[in-house]
Amino acid sequence: MRAKVLEQFDTAGPLIGAEWPIRYRGDDDELVETLRDLGVRRFSALAYAHRPQMAEWLNDWTSDFADRVPECLRCGTFYPEPGVGEYVAARLSAGVQLWKVHVQVGAFYVTDPLLEPAWAAIEEAGTPVVLHAGSGPVGTEFTGPGPVAELLARHPELPLVIAHLGAPEYAEFFDLAERHPRVCLDTTMAFTDFFENLGAPFPDELLPRVRDLGLAGKVLLGSDFPNIPYPYEHQVDSLERLGLGEEWMQAVTWDNAVGLLGE
C-alpha cells in the first residue's frame, strides 16, 4: 500500500495535480525514529479506505501499529458499505482514539445513507474524525463545505477535524468551526511555501479568524508526515512566521490536541 501511495505522488496522479517529491521514504521503523528524533511526542497513523472491504484491513494494520509504537494514537477509518455501523462500533469499543476519512480519494459523499449508523455512533462516543473534505489539491463532486454542512445539520455534535484548514474553502469551513462546538481544523500543509504555491494561497484577511480559532482550542497542528515534499519542521516554522504570538503557537502545537485527545 505504501508503494502504491508513493507511486501516486511520484507520477502526480489525477488527485495530486502537481509535482510532489516525497521527502521521507523510509520503512515504518525509520519513519518512527525520524519523528522521535524531531521530538514529536504523540502522532497518528491516518490510513483511509477508498473502496469497499478495505477499511477493516487498514484498521487491523493501524491497531497493530499502535500496539507496537507507544507514541501512536489508535486510529481507524471507515467507508460507506454494508456493515460499516457494526465495525465502527466495534472499533470504538476496542479503543479507537482518532478516525480518518478522505472524501476526495474515497469518492463518496459524507452524507451517504450507508454512513448514517457510523456517524451516529461517533457522535455519541465523541471520538474525533480527521476529515479531508476541502477541494484541495484537486476538487471533485464529493468535496467542499456543502455536504459537510448538511452532515452537521443531521449530527450537530460530530467531533470533526477539518484537514488542511479546509483549503481552498477556508472561510466556509471556518464558518462551520465557529458555529459548531465540536468542529476543529488542522494546519496540515497550510502556510508552507509548497502549499501557498499550489494556486490557493491563504487569504491574509482570514488571519484574525485563525488566531481566534486557535486560541479557542479549534486549530491543531497537522503535518501529513511522511508524505510531504519539505522538512517536517518547515510546517512549524511556517506557523511561527505568521506572528500570531507564543500563546497561539503553544495552543496550536500542543494544548489544543491535548484538550481533544489527551496526552
Residue 12 pLDDT > 60, yes or no? no
Measured between alpha carbons, how far is 253 from 184 in angstroms, rounded to an integer? 14
CATH number of 250's domain? 3.20.20.140
The CA–CA distances, whole Å, from 93 to 79, 101, 114, 194 equal 18, 19, 20, 39
The domain total for the chain is: 1
For residue range 199-211, list pLDDT tens digits in order. Answer: 789 999 999 999 9
For residue range 131-155, list pLDDT tens digits in order. Answer: 999 999 989 999 999 999 999 999 9
- Domain of residue 192 covers 2-261
Own/partner long-range contacts of 28-35 (Cβ < 8 Å, ≥24 apart) = 28/65, 31/225, 31/226, 32/69, 32/71, 32/72, 34/226, 34/232, 35/71, 35/225, 35/232
Query: What local confidence, expressed as pLDDT, does residue 198 receive?
Result: 87
Query: What local confidence, expressed as pLDDT, does residue 15 receive?
Result: 61
Place of cell 518512527: 32
